[in-house]
Amino acid sequence: MKTVAIIVAGGQGKRMGKPKQFLKIVGRPMLEWALSAFQKAKVIDGIILVVEESELSKSKHFHYSKLLKVVAGGKERQDSVKNGLKELPATTAIVVINDGARPAVTPFLIEQSVKAARKYGAAIIGVPAKDTIKEINNSMFIKRTVDRSKLWQAQTPQTFRASIIRKAYTKIRGKITDDAMPVEKLNIPVKMIMGSYENLKMTTPEDLKIMEAILTSRKERR
């Protein structure tokens, strides 16, 4: 086993108003779109799926040949990733971490991420910020306009040599919002590569409407 994906789907969907991983989009559960992309990606040898403990029995109905284990998540996303890391096969060289709430991830994005991590040790996908970015104070007044020319919005997959991400996760202090953060704190360079503006993370009900349009368009182009 060389390249293993950890798909993190343990969130409670607070901003969505309900757990989102099994909400149907274009006829199939959101989580299945992500699982299918990793199943199709030739660079992926195995998948570990991390879900809410209450969803374990439902998740075990997924039948993908690359799915190695389904394990329970933790209180925070970083705890769920830790649980996934514990289950990696001993032969794992590259770890790909992806949000289960990104149903529009593609085999191409996965493969590009893995290719970059093999070369640089750590790589994430993202997209350049489009909007003007404002920094505000505690009273909601603008402090300054931030130069967006070097600002990127991080996405998943985020991919690392197994030794790097394991070490990074043993050093975490406090809350992190993505997997690159603890690697950055080790002063290990993380390569940013181009993702896709379609690779949205499903957070609110409005996001679902946009994703319906994206995935419907893909089905129609096949």
Q: Is the confidence at residue 17, as pLDDT, over 60?
A: no
CATH code: domain of residue 203: 3.90.550.10
pLDDT tens-place string over residues 157-192: 999 999 999 999 999 999 999 999 999 999 999 999
pLDDT at 21: 84
Residue 47's domain spans which residues? Answer: 3-221
pTM over 0.85: yes
Task: Give the total number of structural domains in the chain.
Answer: 1
Token digits for 154? 């991080």
Task: List, as one string, the DSSP characters of 69-133.
Answer: EEEE--SSHHHHHHHHHHT--TT--EEEEEETT-TT--HHHHHHHHHHHHHHSEEEEEEE--S-E
| Nearest to 183, CA basis, from 112, 119, 124 | 124
φ, ψ (nearest 5 deg) of residue 46: -160, 160
Strand-strand pairing, 133-136 and 142-146: antiparallel
pLDDT tens-place string over residues 23-72: 999 999 999 999 999 999 999 999 999 999 988 888 878 889 999 999 99
| Mean pLDDT confidence for 91-103 | 97
> What percent of the chain stands above pLDDT 70?
95
Q: Is the confidence at residue 220, as pLDDT, over 70?
A: no
From the CA atom positions of the chain, what is the Rg in Å?
A: 17
| Mean pLDDT confidence for 119-130 | 98
